[in-house]
Amino acid sequence: METKEIIEQVNATILKHDMIKTGDHVLMGVSGGADSIGMVHILLMLCSAELNIQLGIAHFDHGLRGTQSQRDAGFVDGVARKFNLPFYLEKEDISKFSIDHKLSVEEAGRTLRYQFLFKTAADHGFDKIALGHNRNDMAETVLMNIFRGSGPQGIAGIPPKRGMIIRPLIDILKSDIETFVDRENIAFVTDSSNNDLCFLRNQIRLELIPLLASSYNSDIVETLSRTAEIFREEQSWIDTIINPLFESVRLDEDEPNIALSIPDLKKTPLAASRRIIRKAIFQVKGNLQGVGFKHMDAIFELMLSPHGKNKILDLPGPIKIKREHARLIIVRRKNSGRTHSNSHDNMRNFPGFSYQINEPGSVYIKEIDHWIELEPISADQVHRLKQLNVITETGQEAYMDMSRAGFPITIRSWSPEDRFSPLGLRGTQKVKKFLSNNKVPLSKRKTIAILEHAGCIIWVAGFRIDNCVRIKTDSEKVLKARLFKRSV
């Protein structure tokens, strides 16, 4: 592809997935390799031609390659200086973290890298985090997930956009990026570990995909990428069905743990039960890295076996599964990298929070380590939601009539005097009583987010919308709100 074609394709990807809006501050995760450096130059070109955005560069030093790691950090710093961009650097002892938290070195590095990027974005006012994943990365991820026994969610590959994470180069082939940096005489550094065949991804990239391309399908990368796109679209639809099932099965929640009802799971179709359990693991762990089909089989064996009572199953990373009578509990191990406290003293000292949102987008509520995403939905989408019967969903997503739930919206911690009219109930009640009736632990109540418009509560995030913003037959515009933990 010519440079002009690449710029046009990246711009088309940004528009297709609504990745960047005018005025956004975008933090670019830059390793120094051809992909991430190419992304820097492409976004800079788009800044001057199509986009009015502010850019910054973040580099995470894994500290695994000695002087080579130092070289990479210095090189990326130099790129930031050249273009007068803000630069943020962090170095961590990945080996120690992997041992302390029982993770592979790869997963430890990934966990700390994303923690650094999210924290930097929150601390310095960035709206989006751009990563340099490309079409080949998508194909490699699909194959890796197939080998690990992943289901449809794994075959869906890498999401072009999730929360504030965006991947502008996801529709560009790696070979086109390499041609671009070579043609534009752009310097970059090479990570020697990319050729280490000890890693599965390297084996797939260097051995398997070339074999498949030469012997079976010369367009294998595009084929796998298209397959991933089809699965992502279907996943999005299936999620609208699974979310209310998840809420019906979930019992009282004592963060960071989640308890599910085993009798209710048994009454749920097997495929749906798997998705419900994976969703619970994702909410507690923050990702599904390392959790494959064999682990799901072990969880079902624990859940269904007459001898499984009060037993514990260890999962990869900081997660374990406990069965206590009729409850299946997903537990985050203590000292696993996130700090949560159930003590009333600590909750008494909770600082509270308040954010004002003037337009659609995502906001990170650092006090509760959650994101809230607000997205207007077209009339056609509303019609489909009505057909799927999910427009009054009361869990992690909410759908509200935009004529009564417009911008600006305040997202704040709740007050003991807050009152609202919960959807499906008559009259008003205090939020405090509502949370108590829904068996929300005291340790969690001060971390509940309230969405408010024009002085009225419209959503107790994660629980219930107010009757005044419910979808009606004549509703034309809908505001979709979503509460979620850090996702990548």
Residue range(s) in the chain whose domain bears CATH number 3.50.40.10:
344-484
Q: How far is it, in rounded angstroms, from Cα 451 to Cα 460? A: 6
DSSP 32: S
Q: How far is it, in rounded angstroms, from Cα 161 to Cα 164? A: 7
Contact yes or no for 284/350 (Cβ under 8 A): no
pLDDT at 344 (0 to 100): 38
Contact yes or no for 362/164 (Cβ under 8 A): yes
Q: How far is it, in rounded angstroms, from Cα 349 to Cα 346? A: 5
> Tokens 């979930």 identify what position?
250
- Listed in sequence order, the residues at least 6 apart from 380 whose beta carbon sits closer than 8 Å to its beta carbon are none
Residue range(s) in the chain whose domain bears CATH number 3.30.465.60:
250-332
Q: Which of 439, 435, 436 is nearest to 450 (CA)?
A: 435
pLDDT at 309 (0 to 100): 65
DSSP 466: B
DSSP 45: H
Which superfamily, per CATH, for 3-224? Answer: HUPs (3.40.50.620)
Q: Which of 448, 442, 369, 464 is nearest to 411 (CA)?
A: 448
- The fold adopted by the segment(s) 250-332 is 3.30.465
At 405-435, the pLDDT tens digits run 888 898 988 887 788 989 888 788 888 888 8
Residue range(s) in the chain whose domain bears CATH number 3.40.50.620:
3-224
pLDDT along the chain (488 residues), means of 10: 94 93 91 96 85 90 79 94 95 80 76 89 89 96 85 87 91 96 94 80 93 96 95 87 87 73 92 90 77 84 75 80 87 56 40 80 84 82 60 68 87 84 84 81 78 89 90 82 71
Q: Where are the beta strands (DSSP E) in 343-448?
A: 354-357, 361-365, 370-377, 397-401, 409-413, 419-420, 429-430
Range list of H helices, 305-375: 344-348
> Tokens 């504030």 identify what position?
164
What CATH number labels 344-484?
Answer: 3.50.40.10
DSSP 207: I
At 252-282, the pLDDT tens digits run 655 568 889 999 999 999 989 999 998 888 8
pLDDT at 122 (0 to 100): 84
